[in-house]
Structure formats: C-alpha cells, structure tokens
Structure 1
Amino acid sequence: MDNMEDTVGCLGVIALAILLVIFSPLINFVFAFFVGWLIKITFGAIFCQGLALLGINIPSTMIPLFCGTLGVIGSFFKTTVNFKKADKKAS
C-alpha cells in the first residue's frame, strides 16, 4: 500500500511542476498587463514619448500588451546574486 501512495505522490509532484511551467508565464503576463493598464491611464502619453525616443513607436492603447509581453520575456531572464561576508583574516 505504501508503494501506491508513493506513486500517487510522485505523480502529484510531476503534475504540479507541469502546471507551474504552464501557468507561471500566464500569471506574469496578467500582472504586467495590469501594470501596463495603470501606466496607460496615468501617464501613457509620456510613456509613449519615452519609448519613441528609444525608437519604439506604439500607440498608448498598446501599452498594456507591450508591458505584458515584456513581463513574460523578462521573467525568463531572472538572476540571483549571493554575497558572502568576507573573512576578517583576509583583510
């Protein structure tokens, strides 16, 4: 009976990993789209002018989609930096 419970637990972990891989970009897109919508209704024209200076010409109606897309792309390039405290003997 323990073998069956281990099998079900293993399948549950695999299913959870698959769901995380599928829904993580979707969640990132939704949050970034919402932030883009907030940018559009608050200072969208200024945001579009700033993007135009960088060579990216989009209308203010496309800001939420632009931010959502960048949010998903940016989520694949996360880095973590760990700092270790230097030993006092080394200095």
Structure 2
Amino acid sequence: MFSESPPLKRKNSDQNPPKTEATSACAEALNEELLHFMAGGFIPLDEFRENNRICKAKLNQIRLKHRSEEIRNVNSRKVDWFGNIR
C-alpha cells in the first residue's frame, strides 16, 4: 500500500544535517527540559512544578472547606424521639 521513499541525497555527504532536520521539536524540548502538552506546546519543567504546587494547595483548601461544611451539616442535624432526622 505505502512505498518507501528513497533517502534524501545531500550535495556534500561530509556536512552535518541542519538542526531542524537532525532533531524533531520533541527531541529538542527534551534536551531543553521542557514538558510537552498536547494542545499547549512546551513549557519549562520549573514552571510546571510551580503551577502543580499552586493547584495542589488550592485543591487542599477546597477539600478542607467542603470537609468543614460536611461536619457542620452533620452536627446541625437533630434526631427526634422517633428516629427522624430534621
């Protein structure tokens, strides 16, 4: 179905390939320690770590808030003599 194309010939075989030809964008990003995202391109690992730390801190704040609301709701429930929760 598919046929292999012959390799590209260079005028001078002693020349190194151009940088764009030598490595792909992904390989260059790995060399520069950048993290690849599907839609967003590449971001530095340090920036990713900082964003990740901020997100985790915000998630913990949200969890604590919801947990305290749950405890407050449980404590505010009252049970009458017949076992009904109000």
TM-score (norm 2): 0.37
Tell me which protein shows more helix as a share of its residues. Answer: 1
Mark the structure with the bigger radius of gyration: 2
TM-score (norm 1): 0.36
